[in-house]
């Protein structure tokens, strides 16, 4: 099994204005990320707009990610859906596509607020595959958090690999790490907590900002591994400064809209986004261009 840790990029999904997949651009993006020093990619995550694509499109995304990574870094496949049967169907497609691991939220739309349902779901999903499984805790989208009773019951399942926490709650992250860190890898998905996570023992970050600016996050991870906390904080503070642009609208997906624009300005992919979404203004595009220029000057082409 490939080791999964470090900067795990939840990859954006390039599309046309008609919402047709641009798989050639996805290959280009993943090669760009590999060159940027990231440690793994996560296809069909929230950043990738997975819930707005068909099962067949999602399988194509994973196949393309596997092809583009070419064994250089692990590929995690998002297999989330609204029920156990559909999740297992997605896992079968991810297996055939060559994914190295599966990442799954609790079923959405019908929130699994019952610890019994969470345990049952996790047991059935892990039993259905030999792939390492990473649980994806994102209460804002799944309508619930992973519960102690469920995790206590399943944490020793052999192919349950870890938990990605996107709750943006430092206390919850600490609780996960302290209670299950000996059994499971604990990854952090909230970029506001990057420095906190790196100084408190996270096994990796899952930052969407690494799509346009991978070397910023790779540098933060390297600094943390070297225990160069001053340098680590500089990179994490830069992430926070860049992410002030997330507030250009009240859209929940606004961070990924401007990240696509940044990659368009770099010539890597189109900026088209699934609908509905709030578009960037000319002023927002100008601010994005300023960050692209800063990245090119201070990070691009530098030794990792």
The per-residue pLDDT for range 32-85, each reduced to its tens digit, is 999 999 999 999 999 999 999 999 999 999 999 999 999 999 999 999 999 999
Q: Is residue 136 part of a domain?
A: yes
DSSP β-bridge partners for residue 9? 41
Q: Is residue 304 part of a domain?
A: no
Residue 303's pLDDT band (boundaries 50, 70, 90)? confident
Q: Is residue 105 part of a domain?
A: yes
Burial zone of 101 (CB within 10 Å; 0-12 exposed, 13-18 middle, 19+ buried): buried
* Residue 265, pLDDT score: 98
Q: Looking at the 3D structure of the chain, how many domains does it have?
A: 1
User: Three-state SS for 25?
Assistant: helix
Q: Which long-range contacts (CB under 8 A, 24 or more apart) does 117-123 make?
A: 118/144, 118/146, 118/147, 118/150, 119/149, 119/150, 119/153, 119/154, 120/84, 121/84, 121/87, 122/150, 122/154, 122/157, 122/160, 123/154, 123/157
Residue 270's pLDDT band (boundaries 50, 70, 90)? very high
Instruction: Quote the pTM value.
Output: 0.97
What CATH number does residue 40 fall under?
Answer: 3.20.20.70
Give Cα separations from 300 to 33, 98, 232, 266, 304 (angstroms): 12, 31, 18, 11, 10
Q: Is residue 303 part of a domain?
A: no
The residue segments making up the domain with residue 75 are: 6-298
Q: Is residue 237 part of a domain?
A: yes
* Residue 288, pLDDT score: 98
Residue 2's pLDDT band (boundaries 50, 70, 90)? confident
Q: Is residue 20 part of a domain?
A: yes
- For residues 77 and 252, the model is more confident at 77
Q: Is residue 1 part of a domain?
A: no
Average pLDDT score, the chain = 97
Q: Is residue 14 part of a domain?
A: yes
Q: Which residue has the tokens 């692209």?
A: 292
Q: What is the pLDDT of residues 156-213, one digit of tens each?
A: 999 999 999 999 999 999 999 999 998 999 999 999 999 999 999 999 999 999 999 9
* Residue 301, pLDDT score: 82
């Amino acid at each position: 099994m490939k080791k999964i840790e470090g900067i795990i990029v939840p990859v954006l999904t390039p599309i046309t204005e008609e919402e047709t997949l641009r798989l050639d651009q996805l290959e280009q993006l993943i090669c760009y990320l590999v060159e940027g020093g990231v440690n793994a990619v996560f296809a069909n995550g929230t950043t990738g707009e997975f819930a707005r694509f068909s099962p067949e499109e999602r399988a194509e995304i994973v196949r393309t990610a596997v092809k583009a990574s070419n064994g250089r870094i692990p590929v995690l496949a998002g297999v989330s859906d609204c029920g156990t049967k559909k999740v297992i169907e997605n896992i079968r497609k991810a297996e055939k596509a060559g994914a190295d691991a599966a990442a799954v939220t609790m079923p959405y739309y019908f929130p699994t607020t019952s610890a019994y349902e969470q345990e049952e779901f996790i047991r059935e999903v892990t039993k259905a595959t030999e792939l390492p499984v990473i649980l994806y805790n994102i209460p804002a989208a799944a309508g619930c958090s992973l519960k102690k009773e469920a995790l206590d019951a399943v944490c020793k399942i052999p192919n349950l690999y870890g938990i990605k926490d996107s709750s943006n709650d430092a206390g919850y992250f600490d609780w996960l790490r302290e209670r299950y860190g000996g059994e499971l890898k604990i990854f952090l998905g909230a970029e506001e907590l990057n420095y906190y996570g790196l100084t408190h023992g996270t096994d990796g970050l899952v930052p969407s900002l690494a799509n346009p600016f991978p070397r910023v996050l790779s540098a933060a991870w390297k600094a943390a591994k070297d225990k160069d906390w001053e340098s680590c904080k500089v990179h994490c503070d830069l992430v926070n400064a860049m992410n002030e642009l997330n507030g250009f609208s009240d859209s929940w997906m606004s961070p990924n809209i401007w990240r696509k624009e940044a990659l368009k300005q770099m010539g890597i992919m189109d900026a088209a986004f699934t609908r509905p979404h709030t578009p960037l203004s000319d002023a927002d595009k100008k601010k994005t261009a300023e960050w692209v220029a800063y990245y090119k000057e201070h990070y691009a082409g530098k030794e990792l």
